[in-house]
Amino acid sequence: MDDSQLLRYSRHILLDQIGIEGQQKLLDAHALVIGAGGLGSPAAMYLASAGVGHITLVDDDTVDLTNLQRQIAHTTQRVGQPKAASARVTLAQINPDITVTALQERVDDARLAELVARADVVLDCTDNFATRHAVNRACVAAGKPLVSGAVIRFDGQVSVFDPRGGGQPCYSCLFPQDQKFEDVACSTMGVFAPLVGVVGAMQAAEALKLLMGIGQSLAGRLLMLDGLYMEWTSIGVGRNGACPVCADKK
């Protein structure tokens, strides 16, 4: 780290649990953020400000006026531009030292496997179950930790699925792939703006902890937020022995 980096990251370096060593781990790390919307915006902005050396942002969508109420990486001037590229501009303005790869594409299983294999941590910031399950399958197959967040209306949830832990559940253990979930889109249901910030920032915090190997992650716990009453509920979540995604893993 040069002098400018020592200054930029000084408030991390001052923390006993992080120090120079932890900060260097972040600088050497690669985070994959899938979705550059409400959750992906704050998550990626904190990963960038905190100095994660390489961030790959994936989103096939373009910035729409209705996104700006909560998707804080985008601006009015960038309406119509690809979200991944728009967020990349914001991250580069926050921290020009890091590398940000912006991919405007809809990822299938094969592409996800490729992208997940290159990452140290994966943040699921998408808004549909099909993609969530595809991301989970790729993370379980590659043995990469997955930080999952979701927000709808006034409700949020966040958890970590870490296949490296041994005996930890995967996303599919909690939300089976064959279960019929109503895929409620933000476009029709509404989302209370700051809740995506709360949950996205928590995803960033969990990802940074995983990258540095500090503290205890949310693996095995699901945190649920009722934003209307501002109450958190933490529930323990276990592995489903019959889960078709992870049952044959150790």
The three-state secondary structure class of 105 is: coil
Please identify, using beta-carbon distances, which residue of 45 and 170 lies nearer to Zn ion: 170
Q: Which of 41, 90, 131, 172 binds Zn ion (CB under 5 A)?
A: 172
User: Is 139 part of the annotated catalytic residue set?
Assistant: no
146 binding Zn ion? (CB under 5 A):
no
Residue range at the interface with Zn ion (CB under 5 A); choices 57-65, 151-159, 175-183, 237-245: 237-245
DSSP state of 226: E
Q: How far is the CB of 148 from Zn ion (least distance, A)?
A: 13
Tell me which residue of 137, 170, 148 sits closest to 241, measured CA to CA. 170
Strands (E), 77-202: 99-103, 121-124, 146-152, 155-161
Assess 204 for contact with Zn ion (CB under 5 A).
Answer: no
Nearer to Zn ion, 84 or 139 (CB): 139
User: Which amino acid does the sequence have at 108?
Assistant: D
Q: How far apart are CA 189 and CA 16, in angstroms?
A: 43
Catalytic one of 125, 139, 170, 186:
186
Of 171, 155, 149, the C-alpha closest to 237 is 171
Q: Decide: is 160 part of the binding site for Zn ion (CB under 5 A).
A: no
Of 106 and 249, which CB lies nearer to Zn ion in the complex structure? 249
Is residue 128 within 8 Å of residue 166, measured between CB atoms? no
**Residue 170 in contact with Zn ion, rule: CB under 5 A:** yes
Contacts to Zn ion by CB under 5 A: 170, 172-173, 243, 245-246
Catalytic residues: 186
